[in-house]
Structure 1
Amino acid sequence: MGFNQPLSSTSFNFSGFQGGYGSVNVQDVEAVLQNKQSFSAIMELDNDGGDNLFNDQTQQHQQHDHDDNVKVDGMILENINFAPDGDGLQQISQEFQETSSLAIASLELLRNYESKFKKLSGENISDNFSYDIMETSTCSENQRLSTEEIMRVAGARYVHYSAHWNNDDFSIPTHHYGLDTGNLSEQENRDVELAQFLLAAAERVGCQQFERASRLLLHCQCNSDVNANAAQRVIFHFSEALRERINKETGRTEVGITSSYNENQETEMLQKMSINGSLNCHQKMPFNQVMQFTGVQTMVEHLASETKIHLIDLDIKSGVQCTALMQALAERKESCVESLKVSAIGTCTYKNKIEDTGQRLTCFAESLNLPFSYKAVIVTDLAEIKLDDFDVDDDEAVAVYSPYFLRTLISRTNCLENLMLVIRNIKPSIMIVLEIDSNHNSPSFVNRFIETLFYCSAFFDCIETCLQEDSESRMAVEIVCSVGIRNIVAAEGTERTVRNVKLDVWRRFFARYRMVETGFSESSLYQANLVAREFCFSKFCSVDKNGESLIISWKGTPMHSLSAWRFV
């Protein structure tokens, strides 16, 4: 579609399969696990017979999916027609017909993760901050595998063992079948085996074999601990999520193993986490600061000659990004700022917090002697947002800042479309978009489970590394993460609100609104590396270019994307 053509009203089909990170054979796994000894034990998982998901395509085809979705390149939106010309939503037929079973796709996805030993494709900005996973797999602190590597070893075993299972005696043998694992510690071996049980349980849930899955989960829940190492904590939270899915599917309440945290306990834990605790997480974990300061630097550059600036913040929270922007504008020696206006979007639920943030920002602006005004755009529902809410003056230069916000609207396509139309009509000079760079939105439950498991394993590894001396903050962050895990794994349909997608999907989506991807300047890239260098574990954090955008990774696993967009 040419940008000089009318906005398209054709359906935006989000159907397709998005897998892992490339394809390398199993010898790459052996490179991590050199000089290993084989296991001879057999882990009995289920005394009942049953077809294996990867060997029985028919069962997977019969899996019911509560979503009525369309999808392209891994991003799924429900019944959506992106019609920026105002024609509204229309029912869309499925354009993509899968020629292979979801079972085979799930197997290939595990194989992709099994072989993910290459850096993110694209140009690495700074060799000082790139993470060579092949080197550090065997040379990391205390010679330990990372949490994500534990899961990949488990996945590699799982792929190989699937060919050796039979329908009469369902079990997972721990014989290596070409995977030499002698260098793993006793704890790592236990974690790998436990992760195999978790994968097997997910498989049984995918086949709707809930009794077998429950027995596997019982083993996982009895042998994992929310206070143990990161691998066991990941297994614990995913086991809880699978248990919740089984309960929803069967309409029953499990007796015995129960969740350690209900919603009230989660809320209480987060309330106990002080502002200092939140700031501690912000200061010790690299992602937010790297992306925020780089995004702010880019906004300042695009607004360099503007004297009247209007920032529309889609999810302002504490307003840290606004304070950084204020400081940068206050230090400008040319084109002194005549006015800085901030509009913060939110629903009635967060009205008080948004207004409190406004008061703090107003005080901060006064301390900088910066002309400032603040408006809280409060709506009952985000679908109600309209152009008049923002009071944009003709002589104002507008910047839009979207920190992990658009992903929350993927399950509500009418809201997402309405917001994009409003932003398009505002015609901002620049739009900065921060998003989680992972595909947690597959229509296949098993695929979605695998993608989320590997992403969260890397994230928990980061939490454990960066917050190892602050267990209270670590636990609070992980509890927040567990809520997302349960939503991705246990929920379906409109209840599944956590729907992260990859950068390429957002590119295709933004193109429909005549948005052009804008590159980051050398100054912005320098800012990204400068911020990353401040962290104790900066060697694990890499900033890579993907097209004109940036991908921030942890030990080689893509975690977040940062992109800048202009409207033409």
Structure 2
Amino acid sequence: MANTMSSFGEFNFGGVQDKLGSTVEIMEVESIGGKQVYEAENWGGFGSLCSDYGIYGNGFSDFTKYQQQDQQLQQQPQLISDYGVFDDMQFQFGALSPPLQACLEEIAKLESIPTLVPHVEPPKKELKRDFFSVAGLDLLNNYGSGFKRLNGERIVEPNPYPAYTEVKSSKLSTEEIMRVAGARFIRTASQVSPSDIPSMLSHPFELSFAGLSNEESRDVELVEFLLASAEKVGYQQYERASKLLDLCERLCSDRGNPVERVVFYFCEALQDKIDRETGRTIQKKQSFDIDKAMMNTNETSLACHNKIPFCQIAQFAGIQAVVEKVVEAKKVHVIDLEIRSGVQWTVLMQALASRDFPLELLKISAVGTSKETIQNTGKWLESFAKTMNLPFSFKMVLVPDMLDLKEDMFELDSEETVAVYTQFVLRSMVPQPDRLDSLMKVIKNIHPSVTVVTEVEANHNSPVFVTRFIEALFFYSAFFDCAETCIEQNDPIRKSLESNYFGNGIKNIVATEGEERKIRNVKIDVWRAFFARYGMEEMELSSSSLYQAELVAKNFPCGNSCTITMDGKTLIAGWKGTPLQSLSLWKFV
């Protein structure tokens, strides 16, 4: 019974709609110079994270293992951000993450290079280029040293000759262009002075890559200029960075090919960062609230849901897991944190309606802040339940603040089998550790049979600018490539998606700091360590859930570019090998 396969393999979300209508910055708060800094002492289980990630902030002085490995860290606490952040690549190498070049070095897996503390201007008397620490060298190892497409038809292989890389057949993806540009940038930057702008601009054209088309060559060169500009920003050489940005902006466009569009929005973000740090503009909070927009049902979100596979992959696989946990229950209670359209629950209704024995009650408790949105969702789900002849109850749980959420708001019944569903909710509370802690305690008190967690699979939570820049560059490159493939060129939805969601996301990650930086995604290994603090244990996804994920991907025209892999017990959905979303199941022990 555990692997019972529900009968919604051919279910179409769009058809139902037509018919009826988010390392965690954590830790004890301590006042330092009028600012809040979060430390690890009060987070019990987080102490075990030190060996894998480390925690930024004053609390890092407790981690003697890393003090012994790198005395320099003890001497430079003033360089650590006021936000105590999990950066899952930093402390395992016992050094601070460097500016851009060390990160890019990993693409080509070139030789080791000396250490340089980030954001420190090289002495003016030294004209030779200083390279950076091995801490950054592991960052892009995750992306691999070569470029192997899904079907193995396109390979870019490292070459012993520094000015030549061989490219074989087919067209490079947007992310592969970024990798090639990174490899070229490293080789170029190793041969020129950091202060020699003309040389930086001319030297890349002297390197050749056999097999690149004219468009690919232009794209690679464009990305090189972007990387050079980001490096100057990392060194706080803003005037030089601006000159490179001016060149990039003449060569890119928000209406060009995917590479040009990626560069366009990263140029905007870098310029915004320069303006903020030089005081040229008044820092204003982001006008477009991405998390709020994702929580609401709108034309862009619905179109993306129907045209881009990732959300449906996680939803179908996650609902399959819920079905398996409630397969014998007479009363089923689903708690949906920050419910959106609720369309995924029509899938659950179909599965429960097809069971061999009747269901006494399906109750959905919808958590949220917008009464109108939740009411509309509830009415729609009630209408659908009637078409399935299911006994159904819908309850709104309105909370202006997650600190106000209590388990007695859910009217729990001892005969109910409870499942908690959270999709891109936890990520939004990473900058608010008190709310995240409060929510986890509520869920623990409820003790659901399964907690389904869907989150962004990316590391956008580093206090170091260059780390965030590199992670964001590859992450959004994959999304732009996906949008190019899945959404028609002239579809206004694509422009809205890229400008509002991608563009503002890039700007928030790259340009902002402190409390203004809201987008702080962390990867599944960080969430694992976090959940362990509350006594949660990861559960296996069944073969039926994995089959549902694969079936959904195949039903999309662009599904052959969508990759589904496993990280331990967690399903990772990605685009041409780049991880984008994770789905994991949890229970309390």
1:111 and 2:105 correspond? yes
User: Partner residue of 2:60?
Assistant: none
| 1:18-167 → structure 2 map (5 Å cutoff) | 66-71=81-86, 73=88, 99-103=94-98, 106-114=100-108, 132=150, 134-137=152-155, 143-167=170-194
Q: Which residue does the alignment assign to 2:552?
A: 531
Task: Please state how far the C-alpha of 1:167 moved relative to its aligned partner.
Answer: 4.6
CA distance in 2, matches of 1:224, 1:65: 34
> Residue 303 of structure 2 aligns with which residue?
280
Render the CA deviation track for 1:308-334: whole Å, top value 9, x for unaligned.
Answer: 111111121111111111111111123
- The answer on whether the counterparts of 1:309 and 1:340 sit within 8 Å (CA) in structure 2 is yes
How far the C-alpha of 1:109 sits from its partner, in A, is 2.7
DSSP-derived class of the 1:198 partner: helix
Corresponding residue number in structure 2 for 1:301: 324
Please tell me whether residue 425 in structure 1 is matched to residue 425 in structure 2: no
Match for 2:461: what amino acid? Answer: N
- Describe the shift of the 1:344–1:188 C-alpha distance in structure 2 as closer, same or farther (beyond 3 A): same
Aligned residue identity for 1:564: L
Unaligned runs of 5+ in 1: 1-6, 19-56, 76-95, 121-129, 255-261
- Verify: 1:332 aligned to 2:352, yes or no: no
Contact 1:346–1:378 (Cα < 8 Å) also in 2: yes
Q: Indicate conservation of the 8 Å contact 2:440/2:534, yes or no.
A: yes
CA contact (8 A) 2:300 2:497 kept: no
> Secondary structure of the residue that 1:69 maps to in structure 2?
coil
Deviation at 1:536, TM superposition (A): 1.2
CA offset at residue 452 of structure 1? Answer: 0.5
The one-letter code sitting in structure 2 at the alignment partner of 1:287 is F
After TM superposition, the structure 1 = structure 2 runs for residues 110-509 of structure 1, keeping only pairs within 5 Å, are: 110-114=104-108, 132=150, 134-137=152-155, 143-170=170-197, 171-172=199-200, 180-253=208-281, 263=287, 278-334=301-357, 336-347=358-369, 350-469=370-489, 471-479=491-499, 480-509=501-530
**What's the Cα RMSD here?**
3.4
Counterpart for residue 9 of structure 1: 44
Q: Quote the offset at 1:222 in angstroms.
A: 2.4
1:462/1:235 CA distance change after superposition, 3 Å:
same
1:466 Cα shift? 0.7
Q: Is the 8 A contact 1:67 1:492 kept in 2?
A: no
Q: Is the 8 A contact 2:456 2:580 kept in 1?
A: yes
1:356 shift after superposition: 1.2
Q: 1:553 Cα deviation (Å)?
A: 1.7
CA contact (8 A) 2:573 2:580 kept: yes
- Kept in 2: contact 1:314–1:345 (CA 8 A): yes
Query: For residues 333 and 228 of structure 2, what CA distance do their matches in structure 1 show?
Result: 52
> What secondary structure is seen at the aligned counterpart in 1 of 2:341?
coil
Letter in 1 for 2:487: L
Match of 1:88 in 2: none
Q: Matched residue of 1:552: which SS? A: strand
- CA–CA separation in structure 1 for the residues paired with 2:88 and 2:468: 14
> 1:133, CA displacement in angstroms?
6.8
Cα distance change, pair 276–484 in 1 and its aligned pair in 2 (3 A): closer
Q: Which moved more, 1:298-307 or 1:366-375?
A: 366-375
CA distance in 2, matches of 1:543, 1:342: 29
> What is the deviation of 1:71?
2.5
Deviations 1:235-266 (A, max 9, x none): 11111111111222122139xxxxxxx948x9
Counterpart in the other structure of 2:581: 560
Find the residue that maps to 2:452 and give its secondary structure.
strand
Which of 138-147 and 363-372 deviates more? 138-147
Q: Is the 8 A contact 2:465 2:510 kept in 1?
A: yes
User: Could you tell me whether the CA contact under 8 Å between 1:226 and 1:232 is conserved in 2?
Assistant: yes
TM-superposed CA distance for 1:473, in Å, is 1.5
**Identical-pair percentage:** 45
Alpha-carbon spacing, 1:279–1:97, altered in 2? closer, same or farther (3 Å): closer
Q: 1:487, 1:118 → 2: CA distance?
A: 23
Contact 1:161/1:177, CA 8 A, preserved across alignment: no
Contact map agreement 1:226 1:233 (CA 8 A) in 2: yes
Rounded Cα–Cα distance in structure 1 between residues aligned with 2:543 and 2:305: 25
Letter in 1 for 2:178: M
Code of the aligned partner of 1:417: D
The answer (yes or no) to whether the contact 1:15–1:71 under 8 Å persists in 2 is no
CA contact (8 A) 1:230 1:461 kept: yes
Partner SS state of residue 463, structure 2: coil
Q: How far is 1:15 from its partner?
A: 6.4
Describe the shift of the 1:159–1:444 C-alpha distance in structure 2 as closer, same or farther (beyond 3 A). Answer: same
1:11, distance to aligned residue in structure 2 (A): 4.5
- The TM-score normalised by the length of structure 2 is 0.74
Which residue matches 2:542?
521
The count of corresponding residues between Structure 1 and Structure 2 is 480
